[in-house]
Structure formats: structure tokens, C-alpha cells
Amino acid sequence: MTTIDPSRWLRAFATLIDEHTEELTALDAAIGDADHGSNMQRGAAAVVAALDDDPQPTPGAVLKQAGMVLIRSVGGASGPLYGTFFLRSAAAAGTGELDGPAFAAAFRAGLDGVVARGKAESGDKTMFDALAPAATALDAELAAGAALPEALDAALVAATAGRDATIPLIARKGRASYLGERSVGHQDPGATSATLLVRAAREALR
Ligand code: ADP
Ligand code: MG
């Protein structure tokens, strides 16, 4: 049975964030306050430190720790939003292995947490616009009988398309919304980091 190792997921996410810190900051410089790269890097480094210093026994506990660390260590909108994503996915994951259906359910629960916290809808030019298509693709692929690796490939394609589709949008949530029409023509930073989160999952298969 193929599963996702949540510790490897979080570590792979942290590595990708490190590799893309400058890009995330540049995107946020265009429509925000130029801190999304440093926010995410600080949070991801704190998550990795917690994994090293205080290893957790179950998938749910690993994800819950990450959520609490992110909320504690990241100022800005993205800390509480990603933190809530992981706290909600933790609650859905519980103690069991994250096979395809369990991972999809945890991811969906995380997305629902982002919505509960930030009230974003489709097309608001936020991380939702990458996370939601990924969740839909995961569910659809698994329902059609795909294995988890293939479902994750489809989820990454969907997240990437959702991320790219933020470029022409007017931001309606968060700091970028203060710019109104001037937010048009720029890719959303949070949708970009969220696409890295989906990409990281493919590196956590075992
Ligand atoms: P801040 O905006 O406080 O500086 P960051 O720069 O770290 O925080 O994160 C900005 C990202 O957060 C945006 O690109 C967007 O994707 C996401 N975001 C902001 N507000 C919301 C919201 N209400 N719902 C979902 N995502 C949001
Ligand atoms: Mg910012």
C-alpha cells in the first residue's frame, strides 16, 4: 500500500520553500509587503526543528505539531492559514496511515480549515486557488481508481494551473486586495507556496 509519510512531506515542503524563498518574496513585493518568502522560510525551518527535536508518533500528531509551530512562528496571514490547514488535516488524519483516501480526506479537511479561517472563495487570488483544484483532482483521481502517485501528479497539475490562473485576477482577500485593479497581472504568492506544498507530497510517498 502506498502512503504519504507526513514528516517527509513537511521536510520536502521546507526544502522547496528554501529553494523558492526569493521568488515568493518577489511575488509578494509586487502585490503585498515582500515577506511571504521569509515568513514561509521561518515557519518551515521551525517545523523541521520541531520534527528533529520532538518527533511525534502518529501522522495526526506530526501534522498537529506543524500546525501549532506555524501559528506560533509565522506572523502575517499565511502563518495562521497554513497552521489551520495542518491542524485540520491532523484532526482528519488521526493515528492511521495516510493512504490515498486518508491523505485526500486530510488535505480536504485542511482546505476547509483555510476557508473557515480566511473566508476565501474561488477566484479571490489566494492560496485557495491552488489548494482547492488540487483537492478536487485528488478526490476525482482516487474515485476513478488511480493510485496515490498518479492522483498526486494530477493534483500538482491542477494546483499549478490554479496558481497560474491567479495572474489576471483582482485580489479580493488579504493585503493584495488593497491594490484592487493594480493586483492584476501578478501571480499570487500564497498560491505559489501552496503549489509547492502539493509538489512536496509527491516526494513523501513510501
Ligand atoms: P501577509 O499578507 O500578512 O503579509 P503573507 O505575505 O505571508 O502574509 O501571505 C500572503 C498570502 O496569504 C497571499 O498571497 C494569499 O495567498 C494568502 N492569503 C491572504 N489572505 C487570505 C485569506 N483570507 N484566505 C486565504 N489566503 C489568504
Ligand atoms: Mg506579505
pLDDT at residue 75, rounded to an integer:
84
Pocket of ligand 1, candidates 23, 33, 40, 81: which has the most ligand atoms within 8 Å of its Cβ, to mutate? 81
Nearest CA to ligand 1 atom 13: 190
DSSP states along 27-50: HHHHHS-S-HHHHHHHHHHHHHHH
Average pLDDT over the chain, rounded to an integer: 98
% of the chain surpassing 70 pLDDT:
100
Ligand 1 pocket test, candidate residues 40, 41, 124, 127, most atoms within 8 A of CB: 127
At 163, is the secondary structure helix, strand, or coil? helix
Distance 55 CA to ligand 2 centre (A): 30
Q: Which atom of ligand 1 is nearest to the CA of 28?
A: 6
Phi, psi of 4 (to 5 degrees): -100, 130
Nearest to 82 by CA among 43, 46, 35, 54: 43
Q: Please report how the helices 100-118 and 148-164 are oriented relative to each other, as an axis angle in degrees rounded to 10.
A: 30
112 within 8 A of 91, measured Cβ to Cβ: no
The conformational region for residue 123 under phi > 0 = left, psi -120 to 50 = alpha, else beta, is left
Share of the chain above pLDDT 90, in %: 98
Within 99-173, residue ranges assigned H as helices are 100-118, 128-143, 148-164
Residue 76 CA to ligand 2 center (angstroms) comes to 6
Atom of ligand 1 nearest to the CA of 193: 16
- Smallest Cα–Cα separation from 152: which of 205, 85, 91, 96? 205
Q: What pLDDT is attached to residue 1?
A: 85
Cβ neighbours, 10 Å, residue 180: 11
What confidence score (pLDDT) does residue 152 get? 98
